[in-house]
Amino acid sequence: MEKIVKIATVFSGIGAAEQALKQLGVPHEIIFACDNGERYFDLSVEQVDEIVKKSGGKSKEEVVRELYAATGKPNNVKKSYFANYDISEDRWFEDIRFVDGKPFNGKVDLFVGGSPCQSFSTYGHRKGLEDTRGTLFYDYARLVMEIQPKAFIFENVTGLLNHDNGRTWEVIKSTFDSLNYEIKMAVLDAKDFNLPQLRR
Q: How many whole angstroms separate alpha carbon 126 and alpha carbon 19?
A: 30
Q: How many whole angstroms separate alpha carbon 67 and alpha carbon 20?
A: 32
Q: Which of 17, 31, 96, 117 is catalytic?
A: 117
Q: How many whole angstroms separate alpha carbon 40 and alpha carbon 37?
A: 9
Reply yes or no on whether 34 is catalytic. no
- Phi and psi of 100, rounded to 5°? -95, 115
- Beta pairing, strands 92-93 & 110-113: unpaired
Gap between the terminal Cα atoms of the chain: 37
Catalytic residue set: 117
